[in-house]
Amino acid sequence: MRWLIALLLLAFPVAAEEVVLGLSQDEIAITTSFDGSEIFVFGAVKREAPIPEGELGVIVTIAGPSVPVTVRRKERRFGIWVNTDGVEIESAPSYYAVATSANLDEVLSVRENLRHKVSVPSMIQSVSAPNTVLDASAYVSALIRIRENSGNFQLLEGKVVVDDETLFRTRIRLPAALTEGAYETRIFLTRDGNIVSQYETAIDVRKVGLERWLHSLSRNQPVVYGLMSLAIAIFAGWSASAAFSLLRN
């Protein structure tokens, strides 16, 4: 029996370090007044032995639901801007943030990055381009640049604070334009660029109240939603015209 237990321990070694995680909130409600949210991620490193050798790194990622994306090039023709060639991206996260305790290339090796898909470019998969497109990577770079400018892609190097190689914390800002769904949250512990422990959870993002009702109405009864939008536009126009007439008199 003892030799069997020893074999099992060798086959399934106990992790030297594990993540104990906390989130300021695991649900986000999108209302008509929603203008974004800030997630406070904090945790500790649980150990059953003395601190191992090597530099400790902590990486926190939050990924929104992945969706297909078409990226098109715009060119000026006959005095107007028109869409020309396009590249189909099968899967790209609607939101993605990476926060690290140091520069990403210092806390994570290239091999581990490819294996676990941590960096922003590694999360974009299956690019399909027509024969007229010679450099599909330029379209991927354009998508990343556009979403970085809008705050939907974030690389927050050095934003994870680590105290005494045990406690860590960071804040990640989520923009107002969020896609509904589960936002996968991952925490990696690294030593000398190699991942030694990983923890996963999810943040649920949902529309509620009037925002939820309008969203459901637009999807389930588009005719009613269109007529209601038209009526509101007409009423708003009439109200503005009446107010202007009163001011003039």
pLDDT tens per residue, range 177-195: 888 888 999 999 999 999 9
Question: Do both 125 and 145 map to the same domain?
Answer: yes
Of residues 51 and 112, the one with the higher pLDDT is 112
Q: Confidence band (pLDDT; 50, 70, 90) for 168?
A: very high
Q: Of 54, 19, 58, 21, nearest to 156 (Cα)?
A: 58
Q: Does the pTM exceed 0.85?
A: no
Query: Is residue 26 scored above 60 in pLDDT?
Result: yes
Of residues 238 and 66, the one with the higher pLDDT is 66
- 211 CB burial (10 A radius; 0-12, 13-18, 19+): middle
For a pLDDT cut of 90, what percent of the chain falls above it? 26
Q: Confidence band (pLDDT; 50, 70, 90) for 4?
A: very low
Question: Do both 176 and 246 map to the same domain?
Answer: no
Of residues 60 and 174, the one with the higher pLDDT is 60
Question: Do both 127 and 232 map to the same domain?
Answer: no
Question: Do both 197 and 228 map to the same domain?
Answer: no
Question: Do both 172 and 96 map to the same domain?
Answer: yes
Q: What total of structural domains would you count in the chain?
A: 2
Question: Do both 118 and 224 map to the same domain?
Answer: no
Of residues 74 and 185, the one with the higher pLDDT is 185
Question: Do both 202 and 213 map to the same domain?
Answer: no
Residue 234 phi/psi, 5° resolution?
-65, -45
User: Is the residue at 34 inside a domain?
Assistant: yes
Beta bridge partners of 18: 46
Question: Residue 249's domain spans which residues?
Answer: 208-249
Q: Of 43, 23, 33, 40, nearest to 173 (Cα)?
A: 40
Q: What's the CATH number where 174 sits?
A: 2.60.40.3880
pLDDT tens per residue, range 78-116: 667 666 777 888 888 999 999 999 999 999 999 999 999
Question: Do both 33 and 138 map to the same domain?
Answer: yes
pLDDT for 108:
94
Of residues 225 and 168, the one with the higher pLDDT is 168
- Which of 4-18, 100-114, 179-193, 218-232 shows the lowest per-residue confidence on average (mean pLDDT)? 4-18
